[in-house]
Structure 1
Amino acid sequence: MEPTQWTLTETFQFPAEYGKAVSAQEVKVTAGYTEHQTEDAVRLSGIYHVAANVGFDGEGKEATLDSDAILIDDVDVQDQSGYFEYAVPLLVDLPTSADGQLTATVIDASATATDDGSLAVMWTVEAKLANVEAVAQNVEGELTKTALATDETAKESKQEVAQVTEETTTAAVTPDLESSQVETVTGYVDDNEMLAFINDLEDDVTVTSFRLNDVFVE
């Protein structure tokens, strides 16, 4: 599908207390929409968001109202400079000559003060197929970020497991010094008591052990 363009114009009028609009200081138009497939077209529906700064003469004269103009009641005015926003309906059907997602973007917007004190805003919209290659690169970039984050999380988990394993192994192989010392002292005391017991035996009592078959029996 070749890029398709269309141009729209809206005229805005303001309360007489501000006087006539004499200049358009800044204007911005943004397209917001949803895409819907019909039998023979792709339908875009939503709004054009218009935001503009406009200068007034401040004379407060009654202006001739145009029946086709949009009256803006809510204007933020300071020192004869006003700001307003307005939503213009967006509804357009585009041919389905190619598959893919469409994008509609405002490529140009301008505003002009008219002789009767109104503000005429004009904007041009371009619709075209989304850049499939760019979309694929964006998706690939997001997948790469996700993979790197997952890999970093896995490395941190492995480090934590290794640290816990090392601490557990160290605790298992390190002897309890206090328990070891108690066992050594206890064994030493038992040996001394046995020696004392042997020393107290009579001379005719032997402490040498014999196997039964080594002793002669009459």
Structure 2
Amino acid sequence: MTTRTWDVKEQFRFPQSFGVPMEIKNVAVTPQCEIAEKEDIVQVVGIYHITCHVKFEEGEHEHHATSEFTEIEDLDLQGEVGYFEYAVPMSIEIGKDKIKEGSKPTVHVNHINSKPTQQMAIEIGWTVHCDYDEAPAPAPTPTPTPTPTPTSVESFVDLESPNPAEPMEVKNPSGEEFELQFILDLDDGYSKLSFPSNNVFVKQKADE
């Protein structure tokens, strides 16, 4: 369950003929609302219905017009106590992705308080609680593991090289290397002598 909470207050003024408001005898605030669903939001619309008894005393006060006050013209006066009702508009919006599917938000109020003000008016305040079942968090999408692509690399390595990791350089035989290969390929009737590469190559004809 998730609860959103905020405070609301309203100030009221009355005709001078009623006198000066001195005491709030009792006050009640009742939310009356309905649920309206739109494309991507859930909207709670309605009113906060206020009922209040105010005690007046004789006296005059300056009456300054101001947008901060709500003017109450119709008062049911019984002796020194006047009774009035008033509806404060209500509009609450909640994203559909925040509310569990199939559930609906509810609204209630508490901490209702009231007092006369220095402007010869009264102030009524209350705390609003909007409760709703929160939608479960979406499961995280697993990140696919990339499949390694097999590669085949062939290289010929000279094992006698100082650095075996380096491929051996292959060259076509030329010069003295060619002559050595020629001697080794001679037909029978010739003697074949092999010497280290740093010596002179020697060829002898076989004895006839």
- Normalising by the residue count of structure 2, what TM-score does the alignment of the two structures yield? 0.58
Q: Output the amino acid matched with 1:124.
A: T
CA distance in 1, matches of 2:69, 2:125: 13
Find the counterpart in structure 2 of residue 26 from structure 1: 26
Q: CA deviation at 1:6?
A: 1.4
Matches within 5 A, 1:75-154: 75-96=75-96, 97-99=98-100, 100-129=103-132
Find the counterpart in structure 1 of residue 12 from structure 2: 12
User: Which range moved further: 55-64 or 65-74?
Assistant: 55-64
Q: Secondary structure at the match of 2:40?
A: coil
* Rg larger in structure: 2
Which structure has greater helix proportion?
A: 1
CA distance in 1, matches of 2:112, 2:94: 22
Q: Output the amino acid matched with 1:11.
A: Q
Find the counterpart in structure 2 of residue 53 from structure 1: 53
Find the counterpart in structure 2 of residue 198 from structure 1: none
Find the counterpart in structure 1 of residue 41 from structure 2: 41
Find the counterpart in structure 2 of residue 65 from structure 1: 65
Query: Which consecutive residues of structure 2, in runs of 5 or more, have no partner in the other structure?
Result: 134-208
2:114 touches 2:125 (CA, 8 Å); kept in 1? yes
CA distance in 1, matches of 2:71, 2:21: 13
2:3 touches 2:129 (CA, 8 Å); kept in 1? yes
Query: Structure 1 residue runs of 4+, over 6 Å off?
Result: none
Q: CA deviation at 1:2?
A: 1.3
1:20 touches 1:116 (CA, 8 Å); kept in 2? no
Q: Secondary structure at the match of 2:17?
A: helix
Find the counterpart in structure 2 of residue 156 from structure 1: none
Encode CA deviations 1:162-187: one digit per residue, 9 max, x unaligned.
xxxxxxxxxxxxxxxxxxxxxxxxxx
Find the counterpart in structure 1 of residue 143 from structure 2: none
Which structure has greater strand proportion?
A: 2
CA distance in 1, matches of 2:95, 2:21: 39
Between the aligned residues of both structures, percent identity stands at: 30
Q: CA deviation at 1:7?
A: 1.1
CA distance in 1, matches of 2:82, 2:72: 11
Q: Secondary structure at the match of 2:7?
A: strand
CA distance in 2, matches of 1:2, 1:79: 46
Q: Output the amino acid matched with 2:2.
A: E
- Normalising by the residue count of structure 1, what TM-score does the alignment of the two structures yield? 0.56
Q: CA deviation at 1:35?
A: 0.6
CA distance in 2, matches of 1:15, 1:95: 43
Q: CA deviation at 1:52?
A: 0.6
Q: Output the amino acid matched with 1:3.
A: T
Aligned length: 130
